[in-house]
């Protein structure tokens, strides 16, 4: 079945080992991409079964994104508690990187 909408390419996964924070950021980008794909599919679905399918995909993608975002923020809070001298740097990078 040929789709009538165009979606950006999936975010590339790097081959080098990543830190936990970098891996979470990459997973967040992937979850955002999956969410955008599910919204795009839902927008163009006309068959009731496909609409149901995209509703399930949207719910799953939203829950995954929310989980990853909460995990990322918890990791940043832990890092900030361990090194209070860099709390200002973490506060600025948390909002700009996502």
Splitting the chain (98 residues) into consecutive groups of 10 residues, what average pLDDT does each group show? 52 68 90 92 92 94 95 88 65 53
> Tell me, what's the pLDDT at 95?
53
Tokens representing residue 74 in the block: 């918890």
> Tell me, what's the pLDDT at 60?
95
Tokens representing residue 55 in the block: 């509703």
CA dist 58 and 54 (Å) reads: 6
Question: Got the DSSP string for 68-96?
Answer: HHHHHHHHHHHHHHH-GGGHHHHHHHHHH
Q: With beta carbons less than 8 A apart as the criterion, state whether 35 and 61 touch.
A: yes
Side-chain-side CA neighbours of 34 within 13 Å: the count stands at 18
> Tell me, what's the pLDDT at 18?
75
CA dist 65 and 59 (Å) reads: 10
Q: List the domain boundaries for the chain.
A: 28-78
CA dist 37 and 16 (Å) reads: 27
């Amino acid at each position: 079945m040929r789709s009538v909408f165009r979606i950006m390419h999936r975010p590339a996964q790097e081959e080098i080992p990543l830190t936990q924070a970098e891996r979470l950021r990459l997973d967040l980008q992937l979850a955002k991409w999956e969410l955008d794909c599910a919204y795009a599919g839902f927008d163009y679905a006309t068959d009731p079964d496909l609409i149901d399918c995209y509703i399930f995909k949207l719910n799953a993608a939203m829950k995954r994104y929310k989980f990853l975002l909460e995990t990322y923020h918890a990791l940043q809070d832990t890092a900030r508690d361990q090194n209070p001298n860099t709390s200002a740097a973490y506060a600025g990078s948390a909002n700009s990187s996502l």
